[in-house]
Amino acid sequence: MLKKYLYVIKTQIIRSMAYEFNVYGNIIMQTIIMITSAYFWRALYKGQTMVGDVDVDSMLTYVIMSSILSVLFITNVERRIQNSVEKGTVATDLMKPINVFGVYFAEDIGNIIALVFQNILPIFIIGSLMIKLPTMANPKDIPLFIISVIESFLINWLVAALFGMIAFTAVNIDALIQVKKHLLRLLSGSIIPIWFFPVGVQKVLEGLPFVYIYQLPLSIYIGKGSSVEYLSQMRIQFIWLVVLSVVFFFVQNKVIRKVMVQGG
């Protein structure tokens, strides 16, 4: 059963390798974001050693790791749904003895595996050479970091997939995809950690799933907070993962039924 999906992943890696220009484009974009953010933080920290319990070195690590995570969190599922709705291939996809959304998930995994070498490694090297080596603050927290990244990845994918399902009613969601992408970067603390935001805003954002995508694993990485705090936040992260999964399966069934009634 799982073998099918593994093969989808393998096929997707082959496909991803075919688009070299995309790969270079993202490296350039991430480099620009990293370097400008580094200058921004250095300027902001001028004359101060600590801002919000974080020193400038940790903040620079945050920037580099945020760029690396953003590659890990690239999703294609929204576009994939839009394309298959537009071209009407959902109907034939549904004819195969495999879950369509499982296929989309496997494809995204395949993409990311291809990107480890094509994107993550180059960005890591560029960041290390041009900014600093992004070392982890407390290596004993590595298991927590890895678990939280996996959960982040799943939450991010579920948000993207739920978003993509809008295409079943709206058909074209190009503009919406852009809005979601930038809103997510802002609300998740991927560019500016939300501890720089006013307390009221922080409270609201902590109630939403987005900070648990970027800020939580990054905080663990740079050592902002204690293991106890991490665990309590990871509990909220896990609750979000469960909630979004439930919503996802519910909406997925509804959407498939809708396609079957209205035709692809």
Partner 1 sequence: MIDVENLCKDYVLKSKEPGLKGAMKGLVKPNHKIIHAVKDLSFHIDTGEIVGFIGPNGAGKSTTIKMMSGILTPTQGQVLIDGRNISKHRKEVVKDIGVVFGQRSQLNWDLRLGESFELLKHIYQINQKEYDKILDELDQILGIKELLDKPVRQMSLGQRVKGDLVASMIHSPKVLFLDEPTIGLDVSAKYALRKFIKEINKVRHTTVILTTHDLGDIQELCERLIVINNGVLMEDGNLSEIVDRIAPYKTLVVEYYDEVAPEHTRCKLIAQDGNVAKYRFMKNDVTAAEIIADLSKEKTIKDVSIEETGIDDIIKIVYGA
Residues found near partner 1 in the complex (CB under 8 A): 3-4, 7-8, 11, 14-15, 18, 87-89, 91-98, 257, 260-264
Which residues is 54 bridged to in the sheet? 51
Provide the minimum distance between the beta carbon of 177 and partner 1 in the complex, in angstroms, as a whole number.
Answer: 20
Nearer to partner 1, 3 or 140 (CB): 3
Beta carbons of 125 and 118 less than 8 angstroms apart: no
Provide the minimum distance between the beta carbon of 235 and partner 1 in the complex, in angstroms, as a whole number.
Answer: 36
Nearer to partner 1, 96 or 235 (CB): 96
Beta carbons of 189 and 218 less than 8 angstroms apart: yes
Provide the minimum distance between the beta carbon of 81 and partner 1 in the complex, in angstroms, as a whole number.
Answer: 16
Provide the minimum distance between the beta carbon of 103 and partner 1 in the complex, in angstroms, as a whole number.
Answer: 9
CA distance 150 to 164: 21
Q: What are phi and psi of 136, to 5 degrees?
A: -80, 140
Provide the minimum distance between the beta carbon of 86 and partner 1 in the complex, in angstroms, as a whole number.
Answer: 11
Nearer to partner 1, 76 or 148 (CB): 76
Nearer to partner 1, 8 or 177 (CB): 8
Nearer to partner 1, 52 or 97 (CB): 97
What would the 3-class secondary structure string for 103-141 be?
HHHHHHHHHHHHHHHHHHHHHHHHHHHHCCCCCCCCHHH
* CA 252 to each of CA 64, 102, 245, 248: distance values in angstroms, whole numbers, following the listed order: 35, 11, 10, 6
